Structure 1
Amino acid sequence: MGLYADEDVTLPNSVLGKAQLLLAAFESGAVRLRLSELSRRSGVPKASAYRLAQELVQWGLLDRQEETYQLGMRLFQLGQRVPASAVLRSVARPLLTDLFTRTRATIHLAVLDGTHVLFLEKIAGGANVHTHSQLGGRLPASCTATGKVLLALCPDGHRHIGRLAAGVGLPTLTDRSVKSAGALNRQLIAVQRRRFAHEVGEVRTGYASLAVPVVHPDGGVHAAVSATGPVSEVSVERLLPMLRTTAAGIARGLTGDPEPRVR
């Protein structure tokens, strides 16, 4: 079908549903897509994709640059008004900026979005840009440190793992990406026990990530915070205390709780 074949989504009959699939075609990290690729990724026939893309351009939801399409500024403006993500980002950004200053690693704030993680925030220096991630982009949860934390600790994580396992196999980004549901489950048991995830080379060869959860006082998980960099620079001993302090600060900011809660 297209991009969503692994998530059990059938091609909708409504115009609105097809338009949503066109916009979702960019979720894998593509910045610009030709019409043929937009059609292939979304599963929408090329003629329908062309007509809908023209309307989305008129609404500002897509921009057309010569022979390619990209997401429009109107989407960004609307996204900033989503209450949950807007509050989380506003609370988290100062703390994430401080974490970046202390670590010089690429810092991410992510939430679970089906079988993927969605990056709500990314802070990186000019010489330390993690090219596989971008603000508002998605990556397979099974490959990423943030995804492993969220799958292991979120109440419905097992349901998402089942959806991953039901497909043709886990999505992989490198040769080191976890390839079987059994191996993923073993990793997640360890993550659940340790309360952090450490992936090495599963997203990008030569790079590693360390992630911790943002935990609500009732035990629920809001999001995950991670630090990413070259393997030699991602030290669990050095980065884990700073990540946990940052995550606890975000949790306090969301709840108004003055007392630190590091889980």
Structure 2
Amino acid sequence: MGSNTSNDKVEKAPGAPAVAGSQTLLRGLDMLDKVIDGPVKLAELSARMELTRSTTHRLANALINRGFLTHLPRDGYQLGPKLIQLGFLAQSQADIVQISRPRIEELAAQTEDTVHLGRMDNDHALYLDKIPGRRRVDISSRIGDRQPLTSTGLGKAMLIDGTEAEWTRLFDMDQAEGAPKADRETWFERMRGYASAGHAYDLEENEDLIRCVAAPIRDVSGKIVAAISVSSAAQYMDDDRMAAMSADVRGTAEAISRDLGWAPGAKPARGRR
């Protein structure tokens, strides 16, 4: 195997753009992207990279030596064990509050309303961060508060992938523990709509005269790990504004999800209802 230094000459397939030796690292990273969907044989990988087979083979061998690729004799090249290790470390180092803060600050400035970040904690919604709005609206939530999942926007957003059996368990538990009284059929009908739309509302269910729009945050596997919400007084949150705001809230939640490694298409299928 040849050494891949900045002086290496990278051969290109006919018609392909010229590649300077200093771009070897970028080519190696590109190669990882080309095999992300599963094993790829040398001929196909060479075509995807727009490089000759000899250059593709040399780059692949360098990545194999470092553990970033593996080679299966009958199937071709695929991602290697080093990436599993790095992915685990990156996920363990991810601080969702720190990662989310710039995004939710921007959303708070854009909407002029209070933005919350929360995650699930023992069948409750745990508030992790709060960016106050510019309006003179008193919202009683505090960082560290634990609220019912089934009556808060944050909580319902974190439940949209759940089964109706799970919804039933949590709804009954919250009602028994003193959550604001809710009509079962109305709640389930709304949850089905939220699950289809990808966002959830709090229609003064958790706190009088306070409404919110919420959306889930996903990790690299597509699993919901947290949620954000925009909250304000009902006088500033009529139905039309909530509907118009939903895309922005989902967009911010999806941006945070991408920061955590999520990619569209990674969302797991919801359980049977």
Q: TM-score, normalised by structure 2?
A: 0.55
Quickly say closer, same or farther: Cα 1:92–1:210, change in 2 above 3 A. same
1:132 maps onto 2:140 in alignment? yes
The structure with the largest alpha-carbon Rg is: 2
Q: Which residue of 1 aligns with 2:172?
A: 165
1:88-127 paired onto structure 2 within 5 Å? 88-125=96-133, 127=135
Structure 1 residue 113 displacement after superposition: 1.9
Q: Give unmatched runs, 5+ long, in structure 2.
A: 1-90, 268-273
Quickly say closer, same or farther: Cα 1:150–1:260, change in 2 above 3 A. closer
Indicate conservation of the 8 Å contact 2:199/2:213, yes or no.
yes
Structure 1 residue 200 displacement after superposition: 1.5
Q: Give unmatched runs, 5+ long, in structure 1.
A: 1-82
Quickly say closer, same or farther: Cα 1:105–1:261, change in 2 above 3 A. farther
Distance 1:243 1:185 in 2: 22
Distance 2:113 2:99 in 1: 20
Q: Which residue of 2 aligns with 1:5?
A: none
Structure 1 residue 188 displacement after superposition: 1.6
1:150 maps onto 2:167 in alignment? no
Q: Which residue of 2 aligns with 1:253?
A: 259
Q: Which residue of 1 aligns with 2:30?
A: none
Structure 1 residue 144 displacement after superposition: 0.7
Distance 1:187 1:85 in 2: 36
Distance 1:94 1:112 in 2: 21
Q: Which residue of 2 aligns with 1:205?
A: 208
Distance 1:95 1:262 in 2: 21
Give SS of 1:153's match: coil
Structure 1 residue 135 displacement after superposition: 0.6
Give SS of 1:245's match: helix
Give SS of 2:95's match: helix
Residues matched between the structures, number:
174
Which of 235, 240, 244 is the matching residue for 1:238? 244
1:145 partner amino acid? G
Give SS of 1:119's match: strand
Q: Which residue of 2 aligns with 1:192?
A: 195
Distance 1:168 1:233 in 2: 28
Structure 1 residue 179 displacement after superposition: 4.2
Structure 1 residue 149 displacement after superposition: 1.5
Distance 2:186 2:242 in 1: 22
Distance 1:201 1:245 in 2: 23
1:30-45 paired onto structure 2 within 5 Å? none
Q: Which residue of 1 aligns with 2:60?
A: none
Distance 2:255 2:189 in 1: 30
Indicate conservation of the 8 Å contact 2:112/2:135, yes or no.
no
1:240 partner amino acid? S
Indicate conservation of the 8 Å contact 1:115/1:161, yes or no.
no
Q: Which residue of 1 aligns with 2:182?
A: 178
Q: TM-score, normalised by structure 1?
A: 0.57
Percent identity over the alignment is 22
Indicate conservation of the 8 Å contact 1:133/1:139, yes or no.
no
The CA RMSD over aligned residues, in Å, is 3.1
Give CA-to-partner distance per residue, 1:30-86, whole Å, 9 cap, x none. Answer: xxxxxxxxxxxxxxxxxxxxxxxxxxxxxxxxxxxxxxxxxxxxxxxxxxxxx9797
